[in-house]
Chains A and B, each alone.
Chain A
């Protein structure tokens, strides 16, 4: 049936409040809480290397969720997300250095500043769509990249700018172990924020604009406002992600925030699933672990006699880049709706196992 939900039988809801929850069942909610609790103890259990991977997932995941709100939920397109991510990084470092604002406040402020910049570049978005919008946001990418390289007062120019670690009540979060908690908190907070946004008034308006803008307008939704706001929220997320990135690495340089990064963000949400919050996280985890898995695979190959060919080992970097492209193509062919959709299908399968109907 079309009204199929993943709820087990006997799970009846008796109030509208129960019907509006983020997590479909108590079990899923408990699993999420246990996962977060387990992650809290991760710094004592796992190698610091995995912590860096998680921190990477965290700041990329926050930025990718922003892009998914724009692309997946509002049906706009942006090729400038990498530049907005970079703007957030520079903005946070700049405010901290120039005005002496504590880093804890710099991060959300950088989010709002990036939101403003994103909305300026998003102005054409309320007028144009599709490929034309893609080109307009491409312009944003190049303009911002150029700005990073030239505006010495803001970004430190080609030398880059240094960013202090987060400092709370005299405790500096300057190690992987301590920053891990900041990353975890930010990730959980921003994802809950996203879930709530999408289940309240503005989120529904975004989806309405995507699905049928003519009838959305008849329903009282201001099209221009929501297209612009979507750009704003998306840049806000990018800014927060970028600021976390800056204060984690302690140093920001303009080289990293290229078009390639924007494409990578797009790849994350396409692989994870457009218009799905948990899909965004899946896509980011996938994209972070894919190079690691390839590295590990090559490491195993090196141990065998036939795999230890210098050509293969040298070509590793190229193979990694190619593998990302290949994975995107394979996903577009076999699972255009992303990992979130596949996850739902797997759950469906086990729900009825061993009877397929």
Chain B
């Protein structure tokens, strides 16, 4: 068995009286694709926000790469190698695609406000060019070289999602958190995105934790699936096992009998 890169231990999160997460524990194996599914409001994004540091859980522990990161700020988690994308696009809308992705290199760059402006003398230029090369590799990988000079805010939805993925990849992450990477895409874009996720997982060895509603995609590309419902973990395991669970069917997919009952009620 490969070691786990992310261990979530007994995470609970409450907003006042609303319990978003209750005692959720799971672990993600190094180099796997881990999907979190569940109905709306189940606490999936809250879970991701806890991992990436947007929210601080009320209790529980988050161990990332052997380190307790529960109380680290989000920007410190980037240094440790954690990247993420957002459900609603969160690009820097007025920057070019290239600059957006270069921001992902931020924690790897060394220049500060005094040495940066001494561009030619301080080695800032050399550093910029070296990292530009790395960024171009990511751009090549995600096939967005034709839009690298475009302003991010002017791009189409599918492309913006891809640029966001590129920005997260530029961080050099060990773990990448994807919040609904395929929401609002057409079939072709979904297929592309699924292929990129698989490729970045296999080629770069980046572990992926993903929230997704498209069950077809989830079943096809995940190594492991976890189901959340009302902030509680229902089940986790291989995709087939999860699909076979009757409780999951009821909570997430809806039972056939239930649908029949509803139809009768309507008529």
Interface residues of A (CB under 8 A from B): 2-3, 5, 16-17, 19-20, 192-194, 196-197, 199-205, 207-208, 210-212, 214-223, 229, 232-233, 275
Q: Are the C-beta atoms of B92 and A208 separated by less than 8 Å?
A: yes
Interface residues of B (CB under 8 A from A): 52-54, 73-79, 83-84, 86, 90-95, 99, 102-104, 106-107, 109-113, 116-119, 124-125, 128-129, 132-133, 136, 146-147, 149-151, 154-155, 167, 171
Alpha-carbon separation in the docked complex, A187 to B91 (Å)? 34
Partner of A201, one of B91, B116, B151: B116
Q: Are the C-beta atoms of A204 and B113 separated by less than 8 Å?
A: no
Give every chain B residue within 8 A of A19 (Cβ-Cβ): 132
Partner of B86, one of A208, A211, A215: A215
- Minimum C-beta distance from A40 to chain B (A): 22
Listed by A's residue number, 5 A-B pairs whose Cβ atoms lie within 8 Å are A16-B136, A204-B99, A211-B95, A215-B92, A219-B75
- Minimum C-beta distance from A51 to chain B (A): 28
Alpha-carbon separation in the docked complex, A98 to B113 (Å)? 30
Q: Are the C-beta atoms of A220 and B107 separated by less than 8 Å?
A: yes
Q: Are the C-beta atoms of B117 and A193 separated by less than 8 Å?
A: yes
Partner of B124, one of A200, A210, A215, A216: A200
Give every chain A residue within 8 A of B113 (Cβ-Cβ): 197, 202, 229, 232-233
Which of chain A's residues has its CB closest to B74's CB? A217
* Most chain A CB within a 10 A radius of its CB, from B74, B102, B109, B147: B74
Partner of A220, one of B93, B102, B171: B171
* Most chain B CB within a 10 A radius of its CB, from A3, A203, A223, A233: A3
Q: Are the C-beta atoms of A218 and B84 separated by less than 8 Å?
A: yes
Partner of A16, one of B112, B129, B154: B129
Q: Are the C-beta atoms of A203 and B116 separated by less than 8 Å?
A: yes
Q: Are the C-beta atoms of B103 and A204 separated by less than 8 Å?
A: yes
Q: Are the C-beta atoms of B94 and A200 separated by less than 8 Å?
A: no
- Minimum C-beta distance from B46 to chain A (A): 15
Give every chain A residue within 8 A of B83 (Cβ-Cβ): 218
Q: Are the C-beta atoms of B92 and A212 separated by less than 8 Å?
A: yes
Which of chain A's residues has its CB closest to B170's CB? A219
Q: Are the C-beta atoms of A215 and B117 separated by less than 8 Å?
A: no
Q: Are the C-beta atoms of B92 and A207 separated by less than 8 Å?
A: yes
Query: Which 6 pairs between the two chains have the least Cβ-Cβ distance?
Result: A220-B78, A220-B107, A200-B116, A211-B92, A215-B90, A2-B154
* Most chain B CB within a 10 A radius of its CB, from A20, A212, A219, A233: A219
Alpha-carbon separation in the docked complex, A205 to B109 (Å)? 11
Q: Are the C-beta atoms of A211 and B93 separated by less than 8 Å?
A: yes
Partner of A204, one of B76, B77, B86, B102: B102
Alpha-carbon separation in the docked complex, A197 to B92 (Å)? 18
Which of chain A's residues has its CB closest to B148's CB? A3
Alpha-carbon separation in the docked complex, A229 to B84 (Å)? 26
Partner of B91, one of A5, A205, A215, A217: A215
- Minimum C-beta distance from B153 to chain A (A): 9
Give every chain B residue within 8 A of A220 (Cβ-Cβ): 75-76, 78-79, 106-107, 171
Alpha-carbon separation in the docked complex, A221 to B108 (Å)? 11
Partner of A221, one of B54, B106, B110, B146: B106
Alpha-carbon separation in the docked complex, A47 to B132 (Å)? 48
Sample of 18 more A-B contacts, CB < 8 Å, known A2-B151, A199-B128, A211-B93 = A5-B149, A16-B133, A16-B136, A19-B132, A200-B119, A200-B124, A201-B110, A204-B99, A204-B102, A212-B92, A212-B93, A215-B90, A219-B171, A220-B76, A220-B106, A221-B103, A221-B106, A222-B73
Alpha-carbon separation in the docked complex, A192 to B121 (Å)? 13
Partner of A205, one of B106, B129, B171: B106
Give every chain B residue within 8 A of A222 (Cβ-Cβ): 73, 75
Q: Are the C-beta atoms of A218 and B119 separated by less than 8 Å?
A: no
Alpha-carbon separation in the docked complex, A275 to B150 (Å)? 17
Give every chain A residue within 8 A of B104 (Cβ-Cβ): 219
Q: Are the C-beta atoms of A17 and B125 separated by less than 8 Å?
A: yes
Q: Are the C-beta atoms of B132 and A16 separated by less than 8 Å?
A: yes
Q: Are the C-beta atoms of A217 and B73 separated by less than 8 Å?
A: yes
Alpha-carbon separation in the docked complex, A193 to B102 (Å)? 20
Q: Are the C-beta atoms of B129 and A219 separated by less than 8 Å?
A: no
* Most chain A CB within a 10 A radius of its CB, from B53, B117, B133: B117
Q: Are the C-beta atoms of A196 and B154 separated by less than 8 Å?
A: no
Partner of B116, one of A5, A202, A221: A202
> A202-B111, A212-B93 in contact; A20/B52 too (CB < 8 A)?
no
Q: Are the C-beta atoms of B150 and A3 separated by less than 8 Å?
A: yes
Alpha-carbon separation in the docked complex, A202 to B111 (Å)? 8
Give every chain A residue within 8 A of B146 (Cβ-Cβ): 3
- Minimum C-beta distance from A223 to chain B (A): 7
Q: Are the C-beta atoms of A207 and B99 separated by less than 8 Å?
A: yes
Alpha-carbon separation in the docked complex, A193 to B103 (Å)? 20
Give every chain B residue within 8 A of A2 (Cβ-Cβ): 147, 150-151, 154-155
Alpha-carbon separation in the docked complex, A233 to B114 (Å)? 10
Which of chain A's residues has its CB closest to B78's CB? A220
Give every chain B residue within 8 A of A214 (Cβ-Cβ): 54, 86, 90
Give every chain B residue within 8 A of A223 (Cβ-Cβ): 75
Give every chain B residue within 8 A of A194 (Cβ-Cβ): 117
* Most chain B CB within a 10 A radius of its CB, from A205, A208, A221: A208
